[in-house]
Structure 1
Amino acid sequence: MKLITFRTLFLIAFCYLCGVSCQDKSYLDDGGKASPQYNGTVMQFLESRPDLFKKLVSVIHYAGMENTFQNGNITFFAPTDYSINRSMQKLNNYWYNIQGKDSVSQIEQIKPEVWKDLLSMYIIPEKYVAKDIPQLDTVAMDAYPGQAYVSENGRAMNLGVVYHDANGVKYAGYRQLLFSYVNDFANKDLTNAYVATSDIQPNNGVVHVLRFIDHDFGFNNSMFITKAVAAGIEPPKTNVNQ
């Protein structure tokens, strides 16, 4: 009897502390997912998140690509500032340590056409959310290859949904988008970028935010370095906002 009384008192206290009536079981209902819609353009969404995309927005303006992000019908795999900074740092290390030149610290030291070329790799014409994209298994690509797409600048890219395993059950776990630069599809040679947040839907497209911890801007940092150096590195400019 004491056990029943204690349990009852415990439940009453718990419900009171949670601000929920014990008779009201609405807190058990699924509240649903957050709305993926964003009331604005892709450009405006990026500008609304300076914590992630401040430098990316500067790159877009510097490369003269505002119209694409403001008016184009696009799917954008958004690299964060962390990815840009990582590639900039590797370029800077090469430029200073190998070439013995002054530091590359500003995006304006790299020619705008380089930024435009590499940034266009992350843009796929038209809108694609996760449900539109086929399955991809990186160790069984003959069965689940994802799907090939052509980027804004005409490069071959691959896109698929990876079905992770769960509790020993194949493909029963969470699903994650994988966006890849195709080095050699015949040999399944891809440079991969995992999506951290998917299906953000501004008025003129879809944004999938790439995982920043392991992605270098340009997919292959040697490509970023080679293109930047070949185009010519400018000296640092004064009074430039990054």
Structure 2
Amino acid sequence: MNMKTHIIKNLIFVGLLGFLLSSCQDKYFEDSGIHDAVYDGTVMDYIKNRPDVFDSLNTIIQLSGLESVLDQEGVTFFAPGDPSIRKALYELNENLFAIGRDTVLTLDQVDPSVWREYLSMYIYNDTYVLKDIPQLDTLNMNIFPGQGFISYGGQNMNIGVNYNDVISENSSGQKQVVKYAGYRQLFLSYILDISNVGSFGSIINAPVASSDIRTTNGVIHALEYRRHTFGFSSANFINSAYSKGIIYK
């Protein structure tokens, strides 16, 4: 495969990426969320019925063989939006192109075990809504550490609720801060170093945009796609995809 062909493939991928990103509805991901509090269907039913934001997610669920897990009774799913998945693929393609390999054009070119490994980080047995989760302060985890959880795939994770500050100005123009009095936002965090949680760079945070979407078998928390890349660590995802082997057709 020559360099010209590589460039053409990357242009095609970027074009597809742009189309998919433009099709997503930004209002769905505003903090505090715009959604029905209760959905009359399972977690998977909800994902399938929101192709505007979860089309690629539905595809990798099928590829990973995790649909039955998300249909079981009592499940919590932190749903990564399609743009988060596309960002991970874009970075994978940047890496492949840099080493002279053909790039990925379709989701099924990544080994299914890779999708399963990383998608399992977002799935939890039992049902957890925002009010069930303790406070998290990512800058002061010794006091407000959130709570450690083991994901469906056996990964050490942290889930916590960030209490934002209320910031205002008085009549004299002086800034006033009321600590922890603002809106509450759920976070799912990947623990990089379990022995040193709370130190700088020890966790990667993924904020939730819309929380507590209740289904007939569990709950969905939709992650904020602007601040999250699927798999949390692009380097880990790239290494896994590369080591398992890209499926070329």
TM-score range, shorter chain: 0.7 to 0.9
- Secondary structure (helix, strand or coil) at the match of 1:71 reads coil
Structure 1 residues 101, 77: closer, same or farther in 2, change over 3 A? Answer: same
Tell me the TM-score normalized by structure 1: 0.81
Q: CA deviation at 1:70?
A: 1.6
Q: Deviations over 1:60-111 (max 9, x none)?
A: 11111110112242110000000000000100110112x2111211111111
- Return the letter of the residue paired with 1:74: V
> Which structure 1 residue ranges, 4+ long, deviate > 6 Å from structure 2?
none
Contact 2:146/2:161, CA 8 A, preserved across alignment: yes
C-alpha distance in 2 between matches for 1:133 and 1:50: 29
C-alpha distance in 1 between matches for 2:134 and 2:180: 13
- Return the letter of the residue paired with 2:161: V
- Return the letter of the residue paired with 1:91: L
**Fraction of identical pairs, as percent:** 44
- Return the letter of the residue paired with 2:119: L
- Secondary structure (helix, strand or coil) at the match of 1:213 reads helix
- Return the letter of the residue paired with 2:188: F
Tell me the TM-score normalized by structure 2: 0.79
Number of aligned residues? 203
State the match for 1:81 in structure 2: 82
- Secondary structure (helix, strand or coil) at the match of 1:89 reads helix
State the match for 2:205 in structure 1: 192
C-alpha distance in 2 between matches for 1:175 and 1:156: 23
Structure 1 residues 102, 35: closer, same or farther in 2, change over 3 A? Answer: closer
Structure 2: give runs of 5+ residues left out of the alignment. 1-33, 168-176
Question: What does 1:62-101 correspond to in 2, within 5 Å?
Answer: 62-97=63-98, 99-101=99-101
Q: CA deviation at 1:136?
A: 0.5
Structure 1 residues 34, 118: closer, same or farther in 2, change over 3 A? Answer: closer
Structure 1: give runs of 5+ residues left out of the alignment. 1-32, 237-242
Larger radius of gyration: 1
State the match for 2:191 in structure 1: 182
- Secondary structure (helix, strand or coil) at the match of 1:86 reads helix
Instruction: Determine whether 1:218 maps to 2:237.
Output: no
Contact 2:162/2:185, CA 8 A, preserved across alignment: yes
C-alpha distance in 2 between matches for 1:220 and 1:151: 16
C-alpha distance in 1 between matches for 2:36 and 2:51: 21
